[in-house]
A and B are shown apart, each in its own frame.
Chain A
């Protein structure tokens, strides 16, 4: 099924699930859905014979600090090997209430992927069997991939930020 047929099929089977959609430059259809419907939509994409997106390629989170009320986003990439079609499912939710239902029931591979997004962005996956940090140190208090945190460790003493132009120092003025 191509993009239009997929959207028509989904609108018929699960009305209201697909809020908007677009096709990116790589030819993959992206479906935007609401946080409450995402697990049902993913399950339908996986189990329905016509759709058959049985493989979860990856899931990742994105932080958009400017979009008030929709700062965080999770993007799921699914793949149908029989017909070689990929699809993206996106959800947006506020950063003050970063709860998302977990997809570990549908795919075992979502386990560590969700832990990674919790570690980086602080997304809380409800229903996850073991939600704790995976890559960063366990006692880290911040979620470092969020845009407000800087890349470097501010407490390091051997590199002088002035020489890297990173401390806000604009440079010597010549007149």
Chain B
């Protein structure tokens, strides 16, 4: 094979290899990570990544914050799809305290999570386009992201770092404005999305750039702990929503798209298809939304209604306990995971009964699969390495935590 014979003659090349420092600040890295590359001309011989430039000590911070104050920290993990992180954390705590969520709240959560998955994949795919030189798709799709942001604002008040939902359900029911915006979105988004796809998916230049850039085989991907769209592009159909359904995902019918070679083009197409499947899930959840409560009856964790706080004694006491973090938390350990934008986002929580977790470990998919980057770009050209990095959708917040 061409690449193998190339490497066998490399022993004589020492001294002619150039060292290139890619990063930490670089327009293409979309985040802060440094790669020191050893290059033979335009080809990459080896790479050594350095991360930690945005290490914010989430795991230590979580040991000093009560359970409901950890949600804003989880926001900032994969900040392109914050609601998924929030829901993952709520599900972890609900598993620990043994709380069942009403069906309506679960369907609401599914709609929010799938909207944020669409938002995350839109960023990733637009940015793959930008890195190949196609800025137009980015400007189109960011308008669609604004529509999604408006919907998040209706629910929680914030656009990007949402702190959405509460332990026990959602903080408020969907407002009439949200219903209007969601219906408009479901009508107008597919056409605009297909426009974006039409610019890139069968574009000769885009395909030539992306096919064969940064491939990884399924065995190596599994050994490196890949999950999510990167693994599915390599051909393995592992999806946490199907393997361990949470929040009523078993009620919905959707396909899991997989690729063949695990290269940049496959990752792009897998994410495109996942957006279509997410739309399918949102349609099913919205059309079949059951009536009921939008939160469980866990007064120890969920703030009571404000009118009740001013009139009823138990509500006042529960309100005080929740705000002053006097709620007793069960002792135990829980591992709970959700399908994040980049793969299996896991929370390993050890509680010793105190107000704050004893240990909270985040299983961050970006951190785990970025290890494979040097292997994926070995032997490729520098421009392919840039594309590989942006197609892996490495989010610095999740990488460094």
Measured between alpha carbons, how far is A28 from B336 in the docked complex, in Å?
A: 10
Chain A's closest residue to B332 (CB) is A25
B contacts with A: majority SS = mixed
Given A108-B371, A145-B59, check contact A60 B361 (CB 8 Å).
yes
Residue from the set A86, A107, A112 with the largest chain B CB neighbour count within 10 Å = A112
Measured between alpha carbons, how far is A135 from B371 in the docked complex, in Å?
A: 13
A-side interface size class: 35 or more
On chain A, the residues within 8 Å of B358 by CB distance are 62
Check A25–B95 contact: CB distance below 8 A.
yes
On chain A, the residues within 8 Å of B63 by CB distance are 151
Decide yes or no whether A70 CB sits under 8 A from chain B: no
Given A60-B348, A144-B60, A151-B60, check contact A26 B334 (CB 8 Å).
yes
Check B55–A25 contact: CB distance below 8 A.
no
Check A136–B52 contact: CB distance below 8 A.
yes
On chain B, the residues within 8 Å of A86 by CB distance are 335
> Would you give the shortest CB distance from A168 to chain B, in whole angstroms?
15
- Residues 224-251 of chain B: 1 if any A CB is under 8 Å from the residue's CB, otherwise 0? 1100000000000010000110000000
Given A60-B348, A151-B60, check contact A111 B371 (CB 8 Å).
yes
> Would you give the shortest CB distance from A108 to chain B, in whole angstroms?
5
Residue from the set A57, A63, A81 with the largest chain B CB neighbour count within 10 Å = A57
Decide yes or no whether B322 CB sits under 8 A from chain A: no
- Residues 134-157 of chain A: 1 if any B CB is under 8 Å from the residue's CB, otherwise 0? 111100000011000001000000
Decide yes or no whether B61 CB sits under 8 A from chain A: yes
- Residues 27-44 of chain A: 1 if any B CB is under 8 Å from the residue's CB, otherwise 0? 010100000000000000
Decide yes or no whether A7 CB sits under 8 A from chain B: no
On chain A, the residues within 8 Å of B96 by CB distance are 25
Decide yes or no whether A77 CB sits under 8 A from chain B: yes
Q: For residues 98 through 148 of chain A, which have their beta carbon under 8 Å from a beta carbon of chain B?
A: 107-109, 111-113, 116, 120, 133-137, 144-145
Measured between alpha carbons, how far is A113 from B370 in the docked complex, in Å?
A: 11
Given A25-B95, A58-B363, A145-B60, check contact A109 B335 (CB 8 Å).
no
Check B335–A134 contact: CB distance below 8 A.
no
Q: For residues 103 through 117 of chain B, which have their beta carbon under 8 Å from a beta carbon of chain A?
A: none
Measured between alpha carbons, how far is A86 from B333 in the docked complex, in Å?
A: 14
Q: For residues 78 through 99 of chain A, which have their beta carbon under 8 Å from a beta carbon of chain B?
A: 81, 84, 86, 88
- Residues 1-40 of chain A: 1 if any B CB is under 8 Å from the residue's CB, otherwise 0? 0000000000000000000000011101010000000000
Q: For residues 310 through 352 of chain B, which have their beta carbon under 8 Å from a beta carbon of chain A?
A: 330, 332-337, 344, 346, 348, 350
Given A107-B223, A134-B51, check contact A88 B335 (CB 8 Å).
yes
Q: For residues 345 through 375 of chain B, which have their beta carbon under 8 Å from a beta carbon of chain A?
A: 346, 348, 350, 358-359, 361, 363, 367-368, 370-372
Check A109–B225 contact: CB distance below 8 A.
yes
Residue from the set B346, B368, B370, B401 with the largest chain A CB neighbour count within 10 Å = B368
Measured between alpha carbons, how far is A145 from B96 in the docked complex, in Å?
A: 23
Check B64–A151 contact: CB distance below 8 A.
yes
> Would you give the shortest CB distance from A59 to chain B, in whole angstroms?
9
Given A25-B98, A55-B225, A144-B57, check contact A108 B348 (CB 8 Å).
no
Check A151–B95 contact: CB distance below 8 A.
no
Chain B's closest residue to A22 (CB) is B333
Measured between alpha carbons, how far is A62 from B352 in the docked complex, in Å?
A: 13
On chain A, the residues within 8 Å of B244 by CB distance are 84
> Would you give the shortest CB distance from B362 to chain A, in whole angstroms?
9
On chain B, the residues within 8 Å of A60 by CB distance are 348, 359, 361
Decide yes or no whether A51 CB sits under 8 A from chain B: no
Given A107-B223, A113-B368, check contact A58 B59 (CB 8 Å).
no
On chain A, the residues within 8 Å of B368 by CB distance are 58, 109, 112-113
Measured between alpha carbons, how far is A25 from B98 in the docked complex, in Å?
A: 8
Q: Which of B330, B363, B400 has a CB less than 8 Å from the CB of A25?
A: B330
Check A24–B61 contact: CB distance below 8 A.
no
On chain B, the residues within 8 Å of A145 by CB distance are 59-60
Given A56-B225, A58-B348, A109-B225, check contact A81 B243 (CB 8 Å).
yes
On chain B, the residues within 8 Å of A133 by CB distance are 52
Q: Which of B222, B330, B335, B371 has a CB less than 8 Å from the CB of A112?
A: B371
> Would you give the shortest CB distance from A32 to chain B, in whole angstroms?
13
Check A109–B98 contact: CB distance below 8 A.
no
Measured between alpha carbons, how far is A55 from B350 in the docked complex, in Å?
A: 22
Check B243–A108 contact: CB distance below 8 A.
no
- What would 11 more interface pairs be, CB under 8 Å, given A26-B334, A151-B60? A24-B332, A25-B96, A25-B333, A56-B225, A75-B348, A77-B335, A81-B238, A86-B335, A133-B52, A135-B401, A151-B57
Q: Which residues of A contact B (CB under 8 A)?
A: 24-26, 28, 30, 54-58, 60, 62-63, 75, 77, 81, 84, 86, 88, 107-109, 111-113, 116, 120, 133-137, 144-145, 151
Q: Which residues of B contact A (CB under 8 A)?
A: 51-52, 55, 57, 59-61, 63-64, 95-96, 98, 220, 222-225, 238, 243-244, 330, 332-337, 344, 346, 348, 350, 358-359, 361, 363, 367-368, 370-372, 400-401
For the complex of A and B, list the 7 residue pairs with the smallest distance between their C-beta atoms, beginning with the closest. A109-B225, A135-B52, A60-B361, A58-B363, A135-B55, A26-B334, A108-B223
